[in-house]
Every structure is written in structure tokens, then in C-alpha cells.
Structure 1
Amino acid sequence: KCFLYCNGLMDHLYVCQNGSGCAAWYKAPTRFTGTLDAFVKITRYEGVRSLWSGLPPTLVMAVPATVIYFTTYDQLRDYLHARTGSQGHHIPLLAGALARLGAVTVISPLELIRTKMQSRQLSYRELGVCIQSAVAQDGWLSLWRGWGPTVLRDVPFSALYWFNYELVREWLCGQTRLNEATFMISFASGAISGTVAAVLTLPFDVVKTQRQIELGDSEVHPVAASKPSSTWLLMRRIRAESGTRGLFAGFLPRVIKVAPACAIMISTYEFGKTFFQKLNQERRLRGL
């Protein structure tokens, strides 16, 4: 049996082979009537700490991925502004898409490795053998398995997110008559833009989740695993089985997860960037 869960920053795959190893992680009750019900029951039966389960390995992946992503976006945005001489809102749209594309491409093999380690509970030596075998059998591109659905979800999300973020931040600064965004303006802009982007890209998130579950099942039953279908065929299958609503499954949990995550990340990033810019400026003035 394969389970997919998210701790707020990253998806995690947990595989129970032959029904073993699940008791400590997957406890009764197994049915939730909603997001709030899930919070209450998980806290009651597994403790508050279980809501942050898997955080350390997540941070190992999330921190470098976020550093690459945010830094690349800032550099690309400034470069495109200088190169084109334009301050148009299409610049954040393009920079956001390219930055996420680069970050996903760099992190994708590490994501696959992490998924294999979670699903098979491999040691590092066994993992090396597994990767060598996969490369020998399917080539180096096999390390980027699942790259397509991830790009289809994350790149449009990033483009929409940065487009809306810059737009909302500019509007809020205008409303408050401020030249620079405050922490709360960045926080609100991040939450609003994250919500809009999350809703519009939800079908691709559903497909990516389905792909991850298929990957986990293939690790447990490699012989019985079928060849993965394309993203569009998978979307058609979900729509045929569950209707259009099936493509928007998990709407509320995704918004609850993404909106505060985007708000916290961008506001702390902007705060840190402003803080260190002022610190460097003060040091330069002292040196004069």
C-alpha cells in the first residue's frame, strides 16, 4: 500500500510492504470528513508533533531549492528589466516561469532519489546501486522521471504567483502611499497571489499526486506496474472517473497549505533581503 502526505513544504511517499510498518504511521481512524476533522483526529491519535513529521529531510531539500528559486528569480527579473528597459508586468511572469523551470530541473533527480529512499528504505550504498541500475537500463533521463507533471504544475504556478505578487504589492503600496513594501504588505501579497495560483494550477497538482502514487506502487509491485500514461491521458482518465470536480480534488487543503506558505516565505525573504541590504549599505558608509 502506498500513501502520499505533505507536511506543508514537500510531498512525502510512504510505502507499506505486505501490510507491515504501517501501524506506527497510519493509525485509525482512516476516514476524514474534512480538513478540520483531519487536523483534530491526527492530533488526537498521533499527537501534535505528527503534524510536523518528516520536517528535517524536507528542509534538506526545501532550503536549497528555495534558495536557487528565489535568487534566480531576482537575478532574472533585474536582468530582464535592464535588458528590455521595460517595467511591464510580463517581466515577473517570464522570470518566475524560467526560475521555477531551472529549479525544478536541478532538484528533480534529488526528488526521485528521495522518493526511492522513502519507498524502499534503502541505505546509501543500496541507493547507489539502484541509481546505477536505472541509468544503465533507461539512461540518464530516467533520473528526471516525473519532471513533466512537476513542470506543468510548478512553472505555471510560479509565473502566476510572481505576476500577481508584484501586481498586488504595487497596488497595496499605492493604497498605503508607501515607496517600499512593509512586512505585512509582502505577507498579504504572497497569500493572495499564492491562493490564486494554487487554484488555477490545482488540476496539475492532482495529476502530479497521482503520478507519485503510481511511482510508489511501482516500487512495491515492479512486475505488476503498468507503463505510466501521459499527463493529458491521466487528466482525461481522472475526469472520466470523477468528473471535472475530480481535477480539483483537495481544493481546500491545497489553499490552506499554499497560501500561508507563500505568505511566510516571501515576507521573510523580503524582510531578510531588506535587512541585509541596509546592513551592507551602513557598512559601506562606515568605510568611507
Structure 2
Amino acid sequence: MSERSNNDSLKKSCDTMNNITPWQQMISSCTGAVLTSFFVTPLDVVKIRLQAQKSPMKRGQCFLYCNGLMDHVCWCRNGNGNNTKPVHWYKRGLPEPFTGTLDAFIKISRREGPTSLWSGLPPTLVMAVPATVVYFTCYEQCRNKLGYRDGLQEGQWWKPMAAGVVARTWAVTLISPLEMVRTKMQSEQLSYTAVWQSVRKMVRQEGIIRLWMGLGPTLLRDVPFSALYWFGYESFRSMLQRIHGKIRIGFWDNFFAGAASGAIAAIITLPFDVIKTHRQIELGNVMGSSGEKKTSSTFRLIQSLYRQQGVASLFTGIVPRVIKVAPACAIMISSYEYFKSVFREHNLKAQKALMIPSS
């Protein structure tokens, strides 16, 4: 009886904890995206600098920038490093080569200044903020529509998975044309007017579906990851709620739940990530060459990887992926939940103030 009454009280308190508006959810997710990008971006800046040191990138070559929150295809715009052309953040050279990740952090900070570690932040914020706002707000709305109550009721395990699938599909589909335009603009260094004319010409010749080129491989990884992530996060969160005996858990509880669920989802969906990375580079080369190159299908890419390198090729890079994804998920969800709790307290105080009769 005591356990049932405890669950009933948690359910009632859960109803009062959801009283935040969609705008407040959007602000919370926006703040979380900015904080996550700020903390995780230096990891990818150092990684790309280390990669460029081992195999220098040529002008026009595309590379993948991904900080655990968003993935971007970027172009090497500078030339061979002479003084007549600008040297961008991913090709800056130091007198002494980097011997490892920690050494790269120290040398870049000392020689170029600490701000150089955030050189890759702008391309992330351009797409990460709107994509994250759409994704998290849609997830919350879908979850609430399904009547999910933090896993406290039996048979609700599928609801966060369904909400995660819908939210990720909607967010990726909505942002995909913008990412395609951004990639096209960066690869050919076009002005906004030229980009608009290029997009109109492309739509007339190949149809509006061309704007969603590359959507398939993106959904192939992001949708399963989203389903597994939200299932894991809500499960860990419900477990911690039962341990503490209250619906409102702390910042570090959310941090742990986000990191654990993000790591598990990253490991399980690693083959999809490998496939998506190869496809992004292929599609990037296609857009960078004005559509002259032909790209193979995702299925043919899987066959090619399997024939050339075996099953092991689909599980490469597990350590770097977990190192980036786990903290990114942890920072994002814990900051998101923190700012949601701030808005909840604000709304509750406003409601109490309205209920006090004027003297």
C-alpha cells in the first residue's frame, strides 16, 4: 500500500511539473545547445587539427566536423599554406608537431590563444541551435500527447521511443534542406543571392526532392539512436526517481542518465554512424562538384565496406564516438532539464501570486 501511495503522489506531482510552455521548452533547448557546443567543440577542433597534421588536406577537399551534437560537411578553402592565402583554423601549423590530444590542447592554447579551441564553433551553432530546438520541443510535445509520465506507469516503455523517433524524423527532415544549402554555399563560396539562384535552378532541373539529398543515411543513424537514447534516458531517470522517492531529480542525476544512455545508444548504432560518415563525405563531394560525380546508394556502400574490410569495418571509431557523444548528451539533457526546472518554479510562483486575493 505504501508503495502504491508513493507512486500516486509521484504521478500527481508529475502533472504539476509539466506546466511549462512550448516557448519555455524552446528557450531551454536553445540554451542547452549553446552550452553543449561550447564545451564539446574544442574536442573536435583538436581532433581535426591532429588529422590534418597526419594527412594534410588539399584545397576543395571536404571533411566531416561532428561534435556529438551535430554533423557538418566542411570544405578546405585555403591553398597550400603560403602567405598569400588565409590559413583557416583546421590548417594552422605550429613549429612543433602535436604528439597527442593533451599536447595539442596545450600547444594550441599557448601559441594561438585559448579562443582558437573554439574556432569551429560558428558552423555548429548555425545548424545545431535550430535543429536542437525543433528536436527537443517536438519530443516533449509528442511525449505529453502520448500521456507519458516518466515511466511510473507500467507498459509505457514504448512511448519515449515513439516520441524520439517522431521528433528526430521531423527535425532532420526540416533541417536537411538548410544543411544542404549551407554545404553548397560553403563549398563554392557563393553569396546568398547566388545560392538562392543555384537552389532555384537545381529545383527546376531535378525537382524539389533534391533539397533532401542525403536524408536517407542521416535518418538511418539518427532515428535508431534517438529511440534508444530516449528509452535509456527515461529508464535511468525513472530508476533515479524511485531511488530518491521524488519526481524532481538533481542536475547530476540527469547528467549521469544522459551520459549513460548516450554512450549505450552510440555503441549500438555505431555501424549506422560509420555508414553515415562515408555517405556524408560522398554527398559532400557531389555537392562540391556541382553534381558532376555520381554517388553510390547506401546499400552498395554497405556491401563495399563488407567486401573490402569485413564486419569489423562497421565498428571502427567506437572510442572517439563515445568520448564525444556521451558528454554531449550529458551536458545537453542536464542543462535542458535545469532550465526547464527554472521555468517551472517561475510559473508556479506566478500561479500562486494570482491565487492570492488582493486586500
TM-score by length of 1: 0.88
**CA RMSD between the two structures:** 2.6
Deviations 1:147-198 (CA, angstroms, capped at 9, x unpaired):
0011111111111000010101111222333332211111100000001111
User: Is the contact made by 2:65 and 2:72 (CA closer than 8 Å) also made in structure 1?
Assistant: yes
Higher RCO (C-alpha under 8 Å, 6+ residues apart): 2
Greater Rg over alpha carbons, structure: 2
Gaps of 5+ in 1: none
Q: Which deviates more, 243-252 or 19-28?
A: 19-28
- 2:137 counterpart of 1:55: no
Give the alignment of 1:101-250 within 5 angstroms: 101-222=169-290, 225-226=293-294, 228-250=295-317
Say whether the 8 Å CA contact 1:7–1:54 is kept in structure 2: no
Distance 1:115 1:38, change over 3 A: farther
Aligned to 1:267: 334
Distance of aligned partners of 1:127 and 1:74 in 2 relative to their CA distance in 1, 3 Å threshold? same
Amino acid at match of 1:216: G
Q: Helix, strand or coil for the counterpart of 2:147?
A: helix
TM-score normalised by structure 2 residue count: 0.71
Taking the TM superposition and a 5 Å limit, the aligned residue runs for 1:6-155 are 6-16=66-76, 19=79, 23-24=87-88, 25-27=90-92, 37-38=100-101, 40-41=103-104, 44=107, 47=112, 48-81=114-147, 88-155=156-223
**CA shift in 2, pair 1:225/1:28, >3 Å:** farther
Matched AA of 1:210: H
CA distance in 2 between partners of 1:181 and 1:272 (Å) = 13
What amino acid is aligned across from residue 65 of structure 2 in structure 1? Y
The CA deviation at 1:109 is 0.5
AA of the residue aligned to 1:40: D
Identity of aligned residues (%): 49
Shift of 1:221: 3.9
CA displacement 1:75-125 (0-9 Å, x = unmatched): 11111127xx97511111111111111111111101111111222221101
Equivalenced residue count is 281
Unaligned runs of 5+ in 2: 1-60
